Structure 1
Amino acid sequence: MDIYTIRKEMTKHNKRLTDLNLRVVYYARVSTEKDAQLHSLSAQKEYFENKIIQNPNWTLVQGYVDEGISATSVKNRENFLQMIKDAEMHKFDLILTKEISRFARNTVDSLSYTQDLLRHGVGVYFENDNLNTLEPDSELRLTIMSGIAQDESRKVSDRVSFGFKRAIEKGTVLGNNCIWGYRKDKGKLVIVPEEAEMVYKIFDMYANEDLGVRAIAKILSESGYRNTNGNPFSFSSIKGILVNPKYKGFYCGNKTHKIDFRHDDIKHLPQDDWVLYEDNENVPPIVSPELWDKANRKLKERSAKMTNSDKTSYQNKYLYSGKIVCGEHGTCYHHTIYRYKSGDKELWTCKEYGSS
């Protein structure tokens, strides 16, 4: 049934939405994967399916469900976007959903998608808001209520930021639980001995054995160490361990800031803005401050030797990277391979000599 016919039936013949022969789907979403939320999602699905099936004028096409996804933006909501694509292919006439905030908390998204759906002959009924986009006067109400939903999302974001700030002030360890060498317990870090042993080896090899990050990664892999996904430790993972102050028993917070609650953009703050202090009670050290400082001095020294174009990317990729210095030009030798018919030959050459 097209929009013109639906509106004619509703206005001239005073028919309700439930009186029309429509192909109907529903959209349900929860923003976290906690048990209570998932129970709510299950209840939403059961409610909408029963509501559609019990109406003899409606035909249940399917349901679209997103779990653990925020409503601030739709770009990560896979099933929501699939629903929009199916609407464009005229697979149904009406979408039932709980409320505007379940659909989108972004005013632009709410208006854009409902208008696009109408262009393809599909309406949306927001049950808790008693708002039906098939009605001619729905857009003004939708604009106002979407703005309210968006502002509520901003308030939630502010409350979360406030909570983070208070947690940082109390020394509660925030962030995810994947801190190698530790497990989190009620806002405190607890050392995992078998993982901590590897962390200590990384610092010791880098600071005292003069090995580079890639060389350490190779040794760890050959020794059978694997990350939580069962893969060898990468360059970035090992470097991340080396620069993390938690390993010397320092609380470290306020390292990032979310620019806008409507987007996922995160700004990494300069170290001067971090909350950083020694706290062996909440963050027990795995290495001594002296070993941590020695490793980080060496890391900075090695980084300073590299040009901006290849800083960190190729640092210590080979055994002699950054270690052979040209006596004439004062620049580091770089690794190169010459290919001959008789076979490949590896050479170390001065960058200045090679470019002259």
Structure 2
Amino acid sequence: MKRITKIEENRLLNTKKLRVAAYCRVSTASDEQLISLEAQKAHYENYIKSNEEWEFAGLYYDEGVSGTKKAKRSGLLSMMADCEKGKIDFIITKSISRFARNTMDCLEMVRKLLDLNIYIYFEKENLNSGAMESELMLSILSSIAESESVSISENSKWATKRRFQNGTFVISYPPFGYDNVDGKMVIVPEQAEIVKQIFADTLTGKSTYAISKELNERGIPAKKGGRWTPGTINGIISNEKYTGDVIYQKTYTDSSFNRHTNYGELDQYLVRDHHAAIISHEEFDRANAVLKQRGREKGNGGDTSRYQNRYSFSGRIQCGECGGILK
């Protein structure tokens, strides 16, 4: 006859603390949102460290980014990478909408975490992925979060369109040569001189590559403090804002939150004499005519992407150090 003896578990062996991380996100970089982010970060760090059975595994966050695209959220991607490296056992976040506003992304990440035996707790919904009998509830709540995001986006687009129409839209991030002062575009004198030189050099026959190389050699920083590239120079020459005019809605976001160049799919709005000009309309037109002529000589017309992608690996190899694209 078989004899079965129960061997009691040794609780002394189960003393390893649960490594708990938290994820926070705010969608805009406004002062109010950043204050909210700091409050979330402080809350979760204290909350995790106050539990004796938990070990603080880090706090990951994204500020000023939308939750509709995970590819643009470095904090979230860093957390997922650390999960794969086995550094995290459990994750806490405020709500599904803070974690992801895209149903597909949300389910994909939760499934990936479950495969790694890592659970995530959504505080607002009181939902623990480790206690779910099915994905139905998560799918429903994720869909609600995504629908809410679409509704917010549509309301924002409507409000923005009204500002386009009445000319009250504020350009929060002006191009190189300008700054935003109390909602108005104001010329930055030293940068304006660089812009004038770029247009003058273009008209004398210098290529965008030669101009960018010269600016880098002179140690002049670009708009974001980075290096100048031919694409940056091309963008300045083709930007109508340097004439004092503004064209609104040159790009748009579709229902899937993907950004597109507006080739006439939606209305555009031209505002003349919106701000002080750096370049005259005549000089602007002549410089752009030069660029178009060079494009025709290369056989690609106005389609620069055709030139940049003429070979199999053009635009597809990225430098691991500076992030530049190899052409």
TM-score range, shorter-chain basis? 0.7 to 0.9
Change in Cα spacing, 1:71 to 1:285, as seen in structure 2 (3 Å) is same
- CA deviation after TM superposition for structure 1 residue 150, in Å: 0.8
Q: Which stretch has the larger CA shift, 120-129 or 226-235? A: 226-235
- Taking the aligned partners of 1:231 and 1:124, their CA distance within structure 2 comes to 38
Partner of 1:157: 153
Partner of 2:13: none
Which of 256, 259, 262 is the matching residue for 2:254?
259
How does the TM-score come out when normalised to structure 2?
0.74
Q: Conserved in 1, the CA contact under 8 Å of 2:45 and 2:56?
A: no
Partner of 2:300: 308
Partner of 2:270: 277
Secondary structure of the corresponding residue to residue 65 of structure 1: strand
- CA deviation after TM superposition for structure 1 residue 152, in Å: 0.9
- CA deviation after TM superposition for structure 1 residue 213, in Å: 3.5
- Taking the aligned partners of 1:310 and 1:165, their CA distance within structure 2 comes to 28
- Taking the aligned partners of 1:291 and 1:91, their CA distance within structure 2 comes to 58
Letter in 2 for 1:161: K
**Superposed CA offset, 1:32-85 (max 9, x none):** 3333223222322332333334444x3123233212132213233334334334
Partner of 1:17: none
Q: Conserved in 1, the CA contact under 8 Å of 2:213 and 2:229?
A: no
Q: Conserved in 2, the CA contact under 8 Å of 1:172 and 1:188?
A: no
Give the unaligned 5+ runs of structure 2.
1-16, 308-327
- CA deviation after TM superposition for structure 1 residue 138, in Å: 5.7
- CA deviation after TM superposition for structure 1 residue 310, in Å: 11
- Taking the aligned partners of 2:231 and 2:55, their CA distance within structure 1 comes to 49
The equivalences for 1:213-292 within 5 A come to 213-217=208-212, 225-228=220-223, 233-262=228-257, 265-270=258-263, 275=268, 277=270, 279-280=272-273, 282-292=274-284
- CA deviation after TM superposition for structure 1 residue 147, in Å: 0.7
- CA deviation after TM superposition for structure 1 residue 149, in Å: 0.5
Q: Conserved in 2, the CA contact under 8 Å of 1:221 and 1:232?
A: yes
- CA deviation after TM superposition for structure 1 residue 116, in Å: 2.9
Secondary structure of the corresponding residue to residue 72 of structure 2: coil
Q: Conserved in 1, the CA contact under 8 Å of 2:119 and 2:128?
A: yes
Secondary structure of the corresponding residue to residue 130 of structure 2: coil
Q: Conserved in 1, the CA contact under 8 Å of 2:174 and 2:185?
A: no
Q: Say which one has the larger Rg.
A: 1
- CA deviation after TM superposition for structure 1 residue 90, in Å: 5.0
Q: Conserved in 1, the CA contact under 8 Å of 2:97 and 2:142?
A: yes
Q: Which stretch has the larger CA shift, 108-117 or 251-260? A: 108-117
Matched, 1:74 2:74: no
Counting matched residue pairs gives 289
- CA deviation after TM superposition for structure 1 residue 256, in Å: 0.8
Partner of 1:296: 288
**RMSD after superposition:** 3.3
